[in-house]
Structure formats: C-alpha cells, structure tokens
C-alpha cells in the first residue's frame, strides 16, 4: 500500500483553498493525524484525495494507481472517505446501512460472509444493541459510531477519516482511535485522521501533518510536530508538551 500526493491545489470558484500540497512520506501500517485550525482546508484535502472534488494538475497515487475519472470504480474500492457529519432519514436499520457499505462497488448479492462481517463489526464497536434501530433515530454519537463501522467493514487500502471522534464522549473517543490504530496496523494500510484534539494526535498518531491556510507547513513524528514553533504560530496559542515516563506525550495550550 502506497500513497503519493504531489502539487495538489484546489479552488472554489475564485477562492483558492489548497496551495500546491505535496506529501509522500506515508507508510503502510501507520496512522497519520491531519491537524490545523478550522477552515484550513482539511476536509477539502480529503475530498480531493477521495475523488469527490476534481483537481486539475495534482498527481494522486494510491496503491500504485494514479487517480483518474475513468477508473472511479477501482478508486472507490481502495479509498474510503468518512465525512465529519453523518445524517440519514432513510428507513434503514443500522445493520442495513453497514451491509450496504460492505457491498459498496461489489454487486448486491449478499453472502453469509457479508452477514458475518457486519455482525463482527457491530460486536467489535460495541454497537450490537443498535442493530435493528433505524438510523434516523440515532443520536449524533451513535451515528458517528455507525459511520465508522461503515468505513471499517469496507476494508479499503486507504482510510480518510474527518473528525471521527467529534461527537463521542471521552471513553468512546479512546476506543475508536484505538480501533482505527489496530485496523491500520493489522491490515497494513494507510489511515489519515483529521483531529482537533492534539492529545489524541499525540497518543495515537505515528505521523502528523500540520496544515495552515491551505498549505502543509510541516510533517513528521508527533515529537517533532508537537514541539515545533510552527504549531503555536498555527493555532495562535502557547503550547507546552510533556512526556511521561512511558513516553506518552500530553499537550497543554494557553493564551
């Protein structure tokens, strides 16, 4: 599994959002945290990589395949983008929507293996009790858990997860991030997770990309990025990083 992004720029009408982004140091089995303030272009970055937005000159390559509109089916099988918000009023149960995600781009004949995979993901994420609940009746946090289940059950080569913990309580944030980390390592894939919580990035990321105003400012290990002067400049706050005896980093911010 490989990912290479070169010279990625994007504009909405006359407003340029992404500026000549090139990032190639992604490693299989490693989780990358994408951090930066609101409205810095993180979601647009994901949408460009996933193919939801068309780019003119960018070179985006996943698993040895260069993105092009004519091979969208193959691209969708390899790349899974989970947006920040999940809303649905469809008259479908949680089990139904996860099964539909499982069959995405694979044809609609359902096998016993498909059923078993959905049941396994429900148990893995501790949402088996929601199996027969209609998705329109779920809370925001429950919807987010279902969205994560939809992403995992597809078993893509590349995860693009936009704020997957934003609607979750602390315990579920830790559980979901650990699940994503384990899935990344066990399947030797690449995961990029947009996060606002720098402590989640410090705890779970192997690699961090720091964005500011549509530009990649710096990339590197959590130790490098969290201690970089650019981090404080980007967020406009004072940053203090502490390391415990077991090597765990914690981040404190102040005005």
Question: Helix (H, G, I), strand (E, B), or coil: what is residue 166?
Answer: coil
Tokens 């964005």 -> residue: 211
Question: Which H or E run includes 213?
Answer: none
Q: Tell me if 161 sits within 8 A of 193, measured CB to CB.
A: yes
Neighbours of 231 (CB within 10 A): 24
Tens place of pLDDT per residue across the chain (255 aa): 678 899 999 999 889 999 999 998 899 999 999 999 999 999 999 999 988 888 867 788 776 767 665 566 767 778 899 998 766 667 899 999 999 998 875 667 899 999 999 999 999 999 999 999 999 899 989 999 999 999 999 998 899 999 999 989 999 999 999 999 999 999 999 999 999 999 999 999 999 999 999 999 999 999 999 999 999 999 999 999 999 988 889 999 999
Kindly tell me the burial class for residue 201, based on how many C-beta atoms sit within 10 Å of its own C-beta (0-12, 13-18, 19 or more): buried
User: Which fold does the domain 3-85+154-254 belong to in CATH?
Assistant: Rossmann fold (3.40.50)
Residue 232 token pair: 């404080």
The span from the CA of 122 to the CA of 85, in Å, is: 20
What's the pLDDT tens digit per position in 161-179? Answer: 999 999 899 999 999 999 9
**Measured distance CA(46)–CA(25) in Å, rounded:** 16
Radius of gyration, alpha carbons of the chain? 18
Q: Structural domain boundaries of the chain?
A: 3-85+154-254
């Amino acid at each position: 599994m490989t990912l290479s992004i070169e010279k990625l720029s994007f504009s909405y009408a006359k407003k340029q959002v992404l500026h000549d982004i090139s990032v190639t140091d992604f490693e299989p089995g490693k989780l990358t945290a994408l951090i930066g303030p609101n409205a810095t272009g993180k979601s647009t970055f994901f949408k460009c990589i996933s193919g939801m937005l068309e780019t003119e000159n960018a070179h985006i390559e996943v698993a040895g395949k260069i993105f092009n509109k004519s091979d969208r089916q193959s691209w969708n099988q390899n790349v899974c983008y989970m947006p920040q918000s999940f809303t649905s009023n469809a008259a479908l149960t949680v089990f139904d929507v996860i099964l539909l995600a499982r069959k995405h781009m694979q044809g609609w004949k359902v096998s016993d293996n498909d059923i078993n995979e959905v049941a396994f993901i429900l148990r893995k994420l501790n949402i088996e009790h929601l199996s027969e609940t209609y998705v329109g009746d779920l809370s925001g946090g429950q919807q987010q858990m279902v969205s994560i289940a939809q992403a995992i059950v597809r078993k893509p080569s590349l995860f693009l997860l936009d704020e997957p913990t934003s609607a979750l309580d602390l315990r579920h944030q830790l559980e979901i991030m650990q699940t994503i980390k384990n899935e990344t390592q066990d399947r030797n894939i690449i995961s990029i997770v947009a996060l606002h919580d720098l402590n989640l990035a410090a705890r779970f990321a192997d690699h961090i990309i720091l964005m500011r105003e549509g530009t990649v400012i710096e990339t590197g290990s959590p130790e490098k990025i969290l201690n970089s002067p650019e981090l404080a400049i980007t967020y406009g706050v004072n940053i203090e990083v502490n390391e415990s005896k077991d090597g765990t980093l914690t981040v404190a911010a102040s005005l």
